[in-house]
Structure 1
Amino acid sequence: MTRRALVVRGGWEGHDPIGTTDSFVPFLERSGFEVSLHDGPAVYADADVMRGADLVLQNVTMSTIEGPQTAGLRAAVEAGTGLAGWHGGIADSFRGDADYLHLIGGQFAAHPGKAAPDRVGDETDGFVRHVIRFTEAAATHPVTEGLDDFEVESEQYWLLHDDYLDVLATTTQEARAGDPWTRPVTSPAVWTRQWGLGRIAVVTPGHSQAVLDHPTVRTLVERGLLWASR
Structure 2
Amino acid sequence: MTQHRALIVRGGWDGHHPVESTELFIPFLEANDYDVQVEESPEIYADAAAMATVDLIVQSVTMSEITHEQVMGLRAAVAAGTGLTGWHGGIADSFRASSDYLQLVGGQFATHPSKEPSQLREGSEENNYLSYTVDITDLGRRHPITEGIDDFELTTEQYWVLHDDLIDVLATTTHPVQPWHPWHRPITSPAIWTRLWGDGRIVVTTPGHSPDILRDANVRTVIERGMLWATRTASAS
TM-score (norm 2): 0.96
Which digits, 9 at most, give the CA deviation of each residue in 1:75-111, with x for residues without a partner? 0000000000000000001000000000000000000
For residue 18 of structure 2, what is the aligned residue in structure 1?
17
Please tell me the residue identity of whatever aligns with 1:210.
D
Listed as ranges, the matches of 1:27-106 within 5 Å are 27-106=28-107
State whether structure 2 residue 144 is matched by structure 1 residue 167.
no
- Distance in 2 of aligned mates of 1:18 and 1:2: 24
- The answer for the alignment partner of 1:140 in structure 2 is 142
Question: What's the offset of the Cα at 1:191?
Answer: 0.2
Q: Which residue of 2 aligns with 1:176?
A: 178
Q: Distance in 2 between matches of 1:147 and 1:74?
A: 31
Counterpart code for 2:39: H
SS class of match (1:220): helix
Q: Percent identity?
A: 55
Counting matched residue pairs gives 230
Q: Cα distance, 1:140 vs. partner?
A: 1.0
CA distance in 1, matches of 2:50, 2:178: 49
Query: What whole-Å deviation, never above 9, does each CA across 1:52-88 have from its counterpart, x for those lacking one?
Result: 0000000000110000000000000000000000000
Query: What one-letter code is carried by the residue in structure 1 that aligns with 2:226?
Result: G
Looking at structure 1, the residues matched to 186 and 194 of structure 2 have their Cα atoms a distance apart, in angstroms, of: 24
Counterpart in the other structure of 1:218: 220
- Alpha-carbon RMSD across the aligned residues, in angstroms, is 0.6
Q: Secondary structure at the match of 1:172?
A: strand
Letter in 2 for 1:212: L
Equivalence for 1:116: 117
Show structure 1 runs of 5+ residues with no match. none
Q: Please give the secondary structure, in 1, of the residue aligned with 2:139.
A: helix
SS at match of 1:142: coil
Q: Which runs of 5+ in 2 are unaligned?
A: 233-237
One-letter code of the match for 1:10?
Answer: G
CA distance in 2, matches of 1:32, 1:190: 25
Q: In 2, distance between residues paired with 1:189 and 1:178?
A: 23
* Residue identity opposite 1:45 in structure 2: A
Structure 1 stretch displaced more, 203-212 or 115-124: 115-124
State the shift of 1:179 in Å: 0.9
Q: Secondary structure at the match of 2:118?
A: helix
In structure 1, the partner of 2:204 is 202
Match of 1:26?
Answer: 27
1:193 corresponds to which residue?
A: 195
SS of 1:136's equivalent in the other structure is coil
* TM-score of the superposed pair, with normalisation by structure 1: 0.99
Displaced runs of 4 or more, over 4 A: none
Q: CA deviation at 1:182?
A: 0.8
Corresponding residue for residue 151 of structure 2: 149
Aligned residue for 2:158, secondary structure, equals: coil
